[in-house]
Chains A and B, each alone.
Chain A
Amino acid sequence: MTPRLVFDVAAGLAILFACVMVVHRHPVKSVLALVVSFFALAVTYVLLAAPLIAAVQVIVYAGAILVLFLFVLMLLNVPEEVRQTPDRPIHQALSAGAIVAFAAALLASLRAYGATRAAPSAELPPGDLAPVARLLFSDHFLSFEALSILLLAALVGSFVLARREESP
């Protein structure tokens, strides 16, 4: 398979299943569609010579976060959403209009951005983790430590919010 073919299939799947996720009324199927979409994204990361991110994507996103979603869904036993008629047509029309305008502006400016450059570049040896790790733990170590506090806060917070409390 050529990289081009791999890219086309992966990108197509990612977009298709993202649409399925947004449109589907059944939450469990939505989550599963998102899993497929994220797996396909991991493939594009490999094409971009970022195997570390691809692995993290599969392990953390598809493996941990989305499983957590499924877990909560099963725990709560959420029923299928009832299809309702949109009751705020102005709101929806406005948001659709905003997105179309945003799309036009962005796609127009993307055309101007390096369309001529091909992705592969010889300077980055694909698959080499050491430079990423070096950058992560030297220049960015302060943000890395701040993130550890963030995760702790999230942990405490989700415990606080989800813990069952007796009503007073």
Chain B
Amino acid sequence: MTITINHFLVVSFLLFSIGLLGVLVRRNFLTVLMSVELMLNAVNLNLIAFSRRLSDLTGQVFSVFVITIAAGEAAIGLALTISLFRQRRTLNVEDANTMQG
């Protein structure tokens, strides 16, 4: 059996779903942050698989951009982590709830 493009798309989809689930159910801010990174990686896999299938390099260029943006996002997320931890001594998102929902 050869590898078809659909194999990659299914893997990407599974990774995206795992990331989605992580953002929705986990309460540790760092895990949420990592789940977002996982979602972005799933998108990259999608882009590169499509780029291969279409013989078009835009997908690869876009995925370079996505990686760069992910790096920026991680930097800000981690800075926020530090800021939160200094104030609350916790990374639990649900503890950070001084405003009435």
Contact = CB atoms under 8 A, between A and B. Distances in A.
Interface of A: 3-4, 7, 11, 14-15, 18-19, 21-22, 27, 30-31, 34, 37-38, 41, 44-45, 47-50, 52-53, 56-57, 60-61, 64-65, 68-69, 72-73, 75-76, 78, 81, 84, 86, 92, 95-96, 99, 102-103, 106-107, 110-111, 113-119, 121, 123-124, 131-132, 135-136, 140, 143-144, 147, 150-151, 153-155, 157-162, 164
Contact of B34 (A69, A81, A121, A136): A69
Contacts of A68: 74-75, 78
B65 A143 contact: yes
Interface residues of B, number: 68
Contact of B60 (A11, A53, A81, A150): A53
A34 B37 contact: yes
B96 interface: no
A2 B24 CA distance: 38
Contacts of A117: 4-5, 53
Contacts of A53: 44, 48, 60, 63-64, 67
A50 B48 contact: yes
Given A4-B1, A50-B52, A154 B9 contact: no
A72 B55 contact: no
B52 A48 contact: yes
In terms of DSSP, what is the predominant structure of the interface of chain B? helix
A111 B10 CA distance: 10
B85 A114 contact: no
A75 B14 CA distance: 32
Contact of A110 (B10, B74, B92): B10
11 contacts: A4-B1, A4-B3, A11-B7, A48-B48, A69-B33, A72-B30, A86-B25, A114-B5, A132-B64, A135-B58, A158-B76
Contact of B8 (A27, A44, A161): A44
